[in-house]
Amino acid sequence: MNTLLGMLAILLTHWADADPIVFDDSTGYGRQFDGIGGLSGGGATSKLLVNYPEKQRSEILDFLFKPNFGASLQILKVEIGGDIQSTDGTEASHMHYPWDENYERGYEWWLMKEAKKRNPDIKLYGLPWGFPGWVGEGSGSPYHNVAQTADYVVRWINGASKVHNLTIDYVGIWNETPYNITYIKTLRKVLNERGYKHTQIIASDNKWKIAEDMLKDKQLKDVVYAVGCHYPGTQSSPEARKLGKTLWSSEDYCQKNDETGGACWARVLNRNYVHGYMTSTIAWDLIASYYTHLPGWDMGLMTAKEPWNGHYVVSPPIWASAHTSQFTEIGWSYLQHGRGVGTLPKGGTYVGLVNPDRNQLTVVMETMTFEHSKCVWDQKAPFQVAPQNVTLSLQGKWKDIGKMNVWFTQMGFDGKPSIFFEKKPPLKLYQEPYYLSQQIGSFEVLHEDENGYVRQMVTQMTIPWCKKADGVQKAYNVFGDITWSDISVQFDFRVPTENGTSGVFVAARATQGGCVSGSTAGIFFFALPDQFVLSTDLRRQHVLKTGSLSYTPGSWHSIALLVKGNTARLSFDQTTVYSGTVPASPAAGWAALGTDSFGLADFDNLQINSVAMET
């Protein structure tokens, strides 16, 4: 059995002593508690979850969202997909082009509905990381035409409502990028005009700087519901506190989900309010459900990255969340600092929360040591925590209570792995293909004469979040395992006659994903209309060989790459076009496919085999 994270949840208790910690509501209450949340996106962090067998997938969703069960999350924040790389992959936009509007793409709609199914009271929060290029009319900025950007975002909120019966409670501006005051005011205006007065604006999902502008601009202050800061280190700025507005840590945690990560999360949940008066804390990310060795691959509240066998792990941060979320609801109130919120004499913190009827009290204590609860954002000198006995004195409404309930947690429960690999049913229109993890560009399933295929949809430079990825202007989709070495990869492709790409590629031993996707190395076989190119990088800056090859856009062709040791064989339409040596390094990496430039391309009949099966 593993040990408690140093936290106790105490319900309706009364201790008395000479020097107690006092819990007293007789002089009033502190700020309203706004909930604990998880973030799906930023990006593609829930990619593999949707591919899990139904039984295990339902269990995972229960651990995340079911009240009084696991994490019991009270807020689900999702990325408003923008066809851009946003950390671990790209998420599809609801409008690839200005004439295109589709609310079936991606998995965030599904995830929000599953969360609501388990907890109808969960709050939903949408935030863009980037935008299709057309939104900025080629300027590279969403603020070039603020009315158009507001329209784009509100259409997503409207699609959630009209197509999926989902109410979006909160919306952000642009993740961790400069904000624009005119845009924020315009967004509020468009929300109101289209019947979404209830959707509140959180700004600016970066640092506390916007608070300075809100102090000088009453209209801006009025349209922003809460100031949302990322990774505040449990501290809010003097300007933010002076506002008198709701303060959130709208993205936090970002930590390996071992016991140290669980302790970090426990410490953050308490100290964000004790030190910073933040009433909501949202974890990046909700679940580590993306390939190993993509950025932050083990930083979710729990881990589910093996859909092919159903294995998942319920990690310590789930139980750290539960100490607060299973004993509170949004709308509860913190007690006042010094009367139920504060620091313990020998280190650690405590918070008291009461329900709206003022007849339930929850106390959460944490005594995390510095070494066992390090968080990635810690910049301060180590702090000291020592063993201590704490006496609680309940005053005010709680004066006559004499019963104490203490909740302990056992860490380290694993979801039982399944030994089967089931054949997947055909994907629905507009969904991403199974197991393919798009890193640049946007790929979705389309149908033609009842046959399904995958199309890459991005045709122009985006408004990116990761410029080093999207800036190469090549679509790039990885799959498999980064330890793969000797494999063959083949598929059929078609370049449409209109808005088509300049070529396609197949790759093995691809080394990079996320925001550094543009610098990936590997063995890349590009098929262009008038030649082939063999390169050791995505950018085609290190070309090994070029040769004759031709095809006409509009027709289907096949392409194949086999690598073994330091040899490679390239085939086009079942004919070998090159067989020879390649560098032995990198020795392993993902399989990949994609396009030589942004533009339409169709893919079908993907096959991956070990070289042993080929020879």
Report the C-alpha gap between 146 and 524 in whole angstroms: 40
pLDDT, average across residues 13-19: 47
Q: By mean pLDDT, which of 98-102, 387-391, 469-473 is the weakest? A: 387-391
For residue 494, what pLDDT is reported?
Answer: 99
Looking at per-residue pLDDT, the higher value among 330 and 394 belongs to 330
Residue 284 pLDDT exceeds 80: yes
Residue (of 597, 547, 553, 554) closest to 568 by Cα position: 547
Strands (E), 254-372: 280-284, 303-306, 311-313, 333-334, 341-343, 349-354, 361-366
Same-fold call for 35-333 versus 437-614: no
What pLDDT was estimated at residue 376?
A: 80
Buried b (16+ CB within 10 A) or exposed e, 210-246: bbebbeebeebbebbbbbbbbbbbbbbbebbbebebb
Amino acid at 79: E
pLDDT tens digit sequence for 111-155: 999 999 999 999 999 999 999 999 999 999 999 999 999 999 999
Residue 379 pLDDT class (50, 70, 90 cuts): low
Residue 422 in this model has a pLDDT that exceeds 70: no
pTM, full prediction: 0.94
pLDDT in tens, 564-583: 999 999 999 999 999 999 99
Question: Residue 289 — very low, low, confident or very high, per pLDDT cuts 50/70/90?
Answer: very high
Phi, psi of 192 (to 5 degrees): -65, -45
State what percent of residues in the chain have pLDDT above 70.
92
User: pLDDT tens digit string along 321-338?
Assistant: 999 999 999 999 999 999
Q: What is the CA radius of gyration of the chain?
A: 26
Among candidate residues 335, 349, 355, the one with its CA nearest the CA of residue 272: 349
Return the pLDDT at 8.
36
Instruction: Note the residue count of the chain.
Output: 615
Q: Name the band, by pLDDT with cuts 50, 70 and 90, for residue 611.
A: confident
With cut-offs at 50, 70 and 90, classify the pLDDT of residue 398: confident
Q: Pairing between strand 224-230 and 246-253?
A: parallel
- Greatest alpha-carbon span in the chain: 89
Rounded Cα distance between 276 and 281, Å, is 11
Residue 394 tokens, joined: 């309940």
- Name the pLDDT band for 341 (thresholds 50, 70, 90): very high
Q: What is the mean pLDDT of the chain?
A: 92
Are 471 and 486 in contact, with CB atoms under 8 Å apart? no
225-229 mean pLDDT: 99
Residue 403 to residue 126: CA distance in whole angstroms: 42
* Catalytic residue ranges: 176, 251
Domain ranges of the chain: 35-333, 437-614
Q: Do residues 306 and 47 make contact, with C-beta atoms less than 8 angstroms apart?
A: no
Question: Two tokens at 465?
Answer: 């979040």
Number of C-alpha atoms within 13 angstroms, CB side, residue 450? 0
Q: Which of 43-47, 67-71, 414-418, 484-488 has the lowest mean pLDDT?
A: 414-418
Q: Calculate mean pLDDT across residues 19-31.
A: 94
Fold annotation for 35-333: TIM Barrel (3.20.20)
* Closest-CA residue to 336 (of 21, 23, 19, 35): 23
- Return the CATH number of the domain spanning residue range 437-614: 2.60.120.560
pLDDT band per the 50, 70, 90 thresholds, residue 407: low
Is residue 603 scored above 50 in pLDDT?
A: yes
Per-residue model confidence (pLDDT) at position 404: 60
Check residues 416 and 538 and name the one with the higher pLDDT: 538
Cα within 13 Å of Cα(69), Cβ side: 14
Q: Give residue 406's pLDDT band: very low, low, confident or very high (50, 70, 90).
A: low
The reported pLDDT for the residue numbered 390 is 86
CA separation for the pair 76, 321 (Å, rounded): 14
pLDDT digits (tens, 9 = 90+) for 170-204: 999 999 999 999 999 999 999 999 999 999 999 99
Q: How confident is the model over 510-524, as a mean pLDDT?
A: 98
